Structure 1
Amino acid sequence: MARDVRARYAAVETARYGRSWTREEIMLGFLGDVGDLAKLVQGKAGVRPRDDLDEALAHELADCLWSVLTLADAYDVDLETAFVSTMRSLSAHLGTEGGR
């Protein structure tokens, strides 16, 4: 589904700009989404309240996940394998550190 949405955005970008976004531009879009997410987290802390806060937070988290999936795909990263490996490594580290 993430690939399909990215392909559809690429078609829109090509029609609008004559080319689809580069991986670097996708990353910059992700940074914008992370900034939006940060504002919503502030909202949950009472600093930036809004009526649709929970819905907006869920949307922005999903948007950020889509960006991560899209970047992994763009760089041919097997995200599932990388995630499992990273979680195992962190778990092992925490097991070692937790025993101190």
Structure 2
Amino acid sequence: MQERARAIRAQYAEVEASTYGRSWTTEEIMLGFLGDVGDLAKLVQGKAGVRPREDLDEALAHELADCLWSVLTLADSYDVDLQGAFTSTMDELEGILSEDA
């Protein structure tokens, strides 16, 4: 997934440079991610019956994928080993939960 996200980011950077004279900064990518999270929140409300729409399941899957792409792109921008960080964070949480049980 990381390689695919990186390739799509490179394509976006080309379009941005052509359109705006430069590619988006990491901060601008983060702001886009925040917008996607807002859209995701509305879709979660839809699943709860508050904001119904016909294509809800498809839209939810799309927005989750958009958010994942942003996370992968931000991790890549900051040289974060997301797989390693995920594994260690889950191990840490699992340990905390085991202590509480």
Shorter chain as normaliser: what TM range?
over 0.9
Counterpart in 2 of 1:68?
A: 71
Distance 1:48 1:5 in 2: 31
AA matched with 2:48 = A
1:50 and 2:57 are equivalent in the alignment: no
Gapped runs of 5+ residues in structure 1? Answer: none
Is residue 89 of structure 1 aligned with residue 72 of structure 2? no
Number of corresponding residues: 98
Q: What is the RMSD of the two structures over their aligned residues, measured on CA atoms?
A: 0.5
Shift of 1:10: 0.5
Structure 1 residue 5 corresponds to structure 2 residue 16? no
Output the TM-score relative to the length of structure 1. 0.97
For residue 51 of structure 1, give the secondary structure of its aligned residue in structure 2.
Answer: coil
Could you give the per-residue CA deviations for residues 51-84 of structure 1, whole angstroms, max 9, x where no partner exists?
Answer: 0000000000000000000000000000000000
Q: Give the structure-2-normalised TM-score.
A: 0.96
- Give unpaired runs (5+ residues) of structure 2: none
Moved over 2 A (4+): none
Q: Which has the bigger relative contact order, CA under 8 A and spacing at least 6?
A: 2
Query: Percent identity among equivalent residues?
Result: 77
Q: Equivalent residue of 2:91, what SS?
A: helix
